[in-house]
A and B are shown apart, each in its own frame.
Chain A
Amino acid sequence: MSVTYLEAIRAAQEKALADDPRVFIYGQDVGAFGGAFKATKNLAAEFPGRVMDAPLSEDAIVGLAIGAAIEGARPIVEMQFADFSTVGFNQIVNQAATLYYRTDVPCPIVVRLPSGGTLGAGPFHSQSMEAIYSHYPGLVVMTPATVEDAYSMMLEAVSIDDPVIFCEHKLLYYHLKADKLPDVAQPAGKARIARAGRDATIVTYSAMLHESLQAAEDLVEEGWQIEVIDLRTVKPLDTDTVLASVARTGRLLVVGEAWPWGGVTAEVISRVATDGFGLLDAAPMRLNAKDTPVPYHPDLWAAHRPTATTVAARLRQLLTQ
C-alpha cells in the first residue's frame, strides 16, 4: 500500500473538509469530475455542496474565496494550472495579500497552483510562479517536494489564518510515492536537510529536490559528500538552516526550476552573501531554467530545465573552484 503525492493532496483536502465545516473547495472542474488532475476526486459526492465547479473566471474564483474568508470560511481554490493564476493575480496580490495589514482581518484562503513543467506541456501549462507571489508581502508560499509535506503542509495551509499559495508540482503527482501518510507534521517555515554532506550545499525545493538528490548520489563515487536542503516553503525562507549548512560546507549551489531573473535562487544567494559571506570558500552558484518561455518539444524542454545531469555538472564546477 503506497500513497502518491497527488493522493496526499487529495487526502489532505478530504481531511480538512471532514474536520472543519468552514472549509469548502471552489474551482474549475473540481466537482463531480474531480479536477483536471483528480485532486478532488469523489470529494463533491462525499461533501455535498462544499466542492463546487466554478465558472472559468480565475479573478472571480479568488475574489469569492477572499469574501468567504472575510466571513469566516476557509476556502481552498484550485487554479487548474499555476499559469492561469495570472488571471486571478490582482485578487491574490492586491486583495488577499493586503487585507490583514490594512484591516486587521485575516484572509485564510488556500490557492492551489499545479505547478512546473511536464513532458509536452509547453509555455502555458508549465510555469513555476513561486517567486512572483513571494515578492508580495502578505502571502505564504509553500513548495512541497515530498508526499509527506504535500499532505501535512496542505493541512497547515488550510488551518492558518493567512493566504497560502500552495505550489504543488505536477511532475511529482503520480511518480512520487510514500508508504503512508505522516502522523506527525513538520511545521511549515522550516527547511529540512534532505541529505547530509560536508563538501557543498545544494539549496532547492519542489521537484528540483529530486534532481538534486540524484546529482548528489551521482557524485558519491567521485568522492564528494553533498548536503541537500529542501526549503519546503520559499516564503518564509529559512535562512538560518541554509547558513548553518553553508557554515559546514563552505560551498553553495541553489537550484530552482523557475526562471532566473530575481526569484528564489537569487534570494537565497543574496541572503548568504549578505549574512554569511565569510562562510563561503567559493563564489556561490545557481542553476535555473533558461530565460525563455517553457518550450513544448521534449528535447527542448529537457534542456530548458535543470536536471540531475546539469546539477551534477554545476556541482563539479563549484567543487573545483
Chain B
Amino acid sequence: MVTAVKEETVAHNDLDPALIVRAYRVMLLARATEDKLASLYRAGMIKGGVFLGKGQEALSTASSIFLKKGDIFGPLIRDQAGRLAFGDTVLDTLRTYLGSAQGPMRGRDGNIHRGRPRDGYYAMISHLGALVPVVAGGLYARRLRGETGVVGVTSIGDGGTSTGAFHEGINMAAVEHLPLVVVVANNQYAYSTPNNRQFACADLLDKAAGYGIAGFKCDGTDPAACLETLRLAVQAAREGNGPQLVVASLLRLVGHGEHDDAGYVDAALRKANVGRDCLEVGAKQLIDADLATAGEIAAWTKEAQGEVEAALNKAQREKGPDPGTEDWRAISTEHLVDGHFNAEDE
C-alpha cells in the first residue's frame, strides 16, 4: 500500500512548454465560454441555472489534460476547462445550456449535466460524490477486460468530501487498487458553507492516509503547479500505484451559480494568495518563461472569444426538442416498457 505523500512544493521542470501553452489556451477558452454564459444568463436567454468555474480553470485543465483517448473523465460543476481539455466543445456546451436538440443531452438534461459516456466522458448527476464509485466502476470493467494503463479522473469540491459516496467510492477504489485520481478543489465554500463547518481535519489531504492512498497538494491558483501535480498523479495511477488524491486550494471567483452574489465570502480571502485569478498567474508565468508575450495572450483571448461567438451563432439557430415527437421512454428494452401512463396522454 502506498503511503500518503505530501507534495507541498513541486518542481515545474518536467513540463513540456507546448503543453503549458496549450493548457493556458484551454483556460482562456473556458473563461471566454463562461463569460458568455454569464451574459446569456443575465439576458434571460438560459433557462435554469448557470454554474461557472471562474478561478478553477488551472486545476480543472490540469485534471484532464494528461488523459489520453480511452481514459475516463468524470467532471463536476466547475470543470468547463477540464471538459474542453478532454475533448468537449464550446458548441456542445452552448447547445446543452440553450437546450438544442442536437447537443449530447438533447434537451433532456442541461447545463453542467452533460457528457458522452461512450467516449469516456461521464455525465454527472447533481448528487455530489456519486461519480467517484462510477468512475471506479468504469476502471474496474476495463481491468476485467484486460486493459492496462487506463486512468480515470474525477473531480469533487470541499463540500463533496463530506458525502458518503465520496468515502465509499474512494475506499472501494483503494481496496480494488484502481487507477483513479480524485481531484479535490477546495474553493473554501460549499455554496455558502465555509471549510470550518465542513470538515474538522487539519487538511483534506489527511484523508489520503486514512484510505491508504497517495496524496498530493498544490496551489490551485498556480497553473504550473497544478499541471505538474496532476502530471505526477496521473502518471502514478497509470503506472499501477492505485488511487491518488489531489487537493488544491483556490477561491471560487463567482457565486455558486450566477443567481448567487457570494456575499458570504470573506473579503480577506479575496485579497489572499488563494484569491488570485489563475489566468493572471498563468499569463505572468508564460511571459516570465518567454513562452508568450502579452500581445500573444491578448490575441489568444480574442481568438477564444471569436470561437465562442461562432459556436453561439450556430447553437442559437438549432431547434430545441419537440415534445410531440420526443421518445418518452426511459428504458431501451421494447417489450419491458410500461406504456400505461405515456399512452394515456396521447
Contact = CB atoms under 8 A, between A and B. Distances in A.
A260 interface: no
Given A67-B135, A103-B117, A94 B144 contact: no
A66 B137 contact: yes
Contacts of B337: 236
A63 B132 contact: yes
Contacts of B115: 103
Interface in A222-273: 233, 235-237, 239, 271
Given A95-B125, A103-B117, A64 B336 contact: no
B172 A60 contact: yes
Interface in A81-108: 87, 90-91, 94-95, 97-106
Interface string A184-204: 000111000000000000000
B144 A90 contact: no
Given A49-B144, A50-B144, A67 B139 contact: yes
Given A55-B172, A68-B137, A237-B338, A105 B331 contact: no
A55 B171 contact: yes
B330 A97 contact: yes
Interface string A62-81: 11111111111101000000
A54 B172 CA distance: 8
A44 B168 CA distance: 23
A137 B328 CA distance: 10
Contacts of B109: 102
A64 B340 contact: no
B136 A236 contact: no
B169 to A, nearest CB: 5
Nearest to A87: B164
Nearest to A24: B144
Q: How large is the interface on A (under 10, 10 to 19, 20 to 34, 35 or more residues)?
A: 35 or more
A235 B338 contact: yes
A71 B123 CA distance: 14
A99 B333 contact: no
A98 B172 contact: no
B116 A67 contact: no
Interface residues of B, number: 48
B130 interface: yes
A115 B123 CA distance: 32
A94 B165 CA distance: 13
Contact of B138 (A24, A68, A106): A68
B130 A71 contact: no
A173 B123 CA distance: 39
A218 interface: no
A80 to B, nearest CB: 15
A237 B340 CA distance: 9
Contact of B117 (A91, A105, A235): A105
A162 interface: yes
Interface in B111-129: 113, 115-118, 122-123, 125-127
Interface in B287-333: 329-333
A149 to B, nearest CB: 15
Contact of A68 (B108, B141, B172, B336): B141
B175 interface: yes
Interface in A145-182: 160-162
Contacts of A57: 133, 168-169, 171-172
B140 A67 contact: yes
A138 interface: yes
A11 interface: no
Interface string A275-301: 000000000000000000000000000
Contact of B113 (A55, A72, A102): A102
Given A57-B168, A66-B134, A67-B139, 11 more contacts: A59-B169, A60-B132, A63-B130, A64-B134, A67-B122, A91-B130, A95-B125, A100-B330, A101-B329, A102-B108, A106-B332
13 contacts: A67-B134, A68-B144, A70-B134, A71-B142, A71-B145, A73-B141, A94-B130, A95-B125, A100-B332, A102-B123, A161-B333, A189-B335, A271-B340
Cβ-closest 6 pairs across A and B: A67-B137, A63-B133, A64-B137, A236-B338, A60-B168, A68-B141
Interface of B: 72, 104-106, 108-109, 113, 115-118, 122-123, 125-127, 130, 132-142, 144-145, 164-165, 168-169, 171-172, 175, 329-333, 335-340
